[in-house]
Amino acid sequence: MNESRLGEMVAGAVLIGGMDWIISSGATWSVEDFAPLSEAVRPALLRVAMTAWALPAWNLDAIAAWIRDGYRHAPALILGLGAAVSLPVLALIGLFVIRRRPASPPPAHDDDVPKTLPASAWRQRAWIELADGSHRRVEINRNLLRIGREDDNDMQLVHASIHRYHAVIERSPDMIFSIQDLSGPDGGGVLVDGVRIERARLRGGERLDIGGVSLKFHLSAAS
């Protein structure tokens, strides 16, 4: 095979192959596929696509014969035409690959980030003890501590003024403590430092009067 014939085949393959790719792929294109392109480039590529849709009506045998004849007389011109056809095709391929590349996941929102407590919160200890000098105490090591006369309370107080379930001390995830009266408006009530409450926050050192029984709430750093 001489060099002239080889050049003809290369030029023809480049030009016809590029046109064939446009023809076979053009049916699936839409105007939206060109959305990322600048206003200057988009019209040129749209013209390439519109030309591709018209190509099936052409006589490809006549095109191949024209390429062979042109290569004999001006091989540089034919090779240039092949490159001119191939470059837009390669550009379209690159743009479609970039357009269909999976997008990076969005950054995590603050609500999605696991929250941790400050070290000082984990070092805190809380407990209640009787204020009668007996030093009877109950550690608050859960989120809910019940106080009442029944034996299934966390701190049982056997006294005529104490309701079956009289009060509850709550601990929040960030180590905030509060006490709530469960006895109702007509019950024995709960007093915090002498003030009757329905619900109150505890910061440590408060005197708690549950009916006729006095307790002390303690909050300190763990040893």
Mean pLDDT per 10-residue segment, the chain (223 residues): 51 55 47 48 53 52 64 65 65 63 60 51 81 89 95 94 96 94 93 97 96 94 61
Contact 192, 128 (CB under 8 A): no
Position 140 scores a pLDDT of: 94
The enclosing H or E element of 217 equals strand 213-221
Position 196 scores a pLDDT of: 97
pTM given for the model:
0.47
CA distances, 190 to each of 14, 59, 78, 171 (Å):
92, 99, 99, 18
Position 218 scores a pLDDT of: 95
Position 132 scores a pLDDT of: 86
Position 135 scores a pLDDT of: 83
DSSP sequence for 197-213: ESEEEE-SS-EEEETTE
Express each pLDDT in 64-96 by its tens digit. Answer: 666 666 666 666 666 666 666 666 666 666 665
Position 12 scores a pLDDT of: 56
The enclosing H or E element of 180 equals strand 177-181
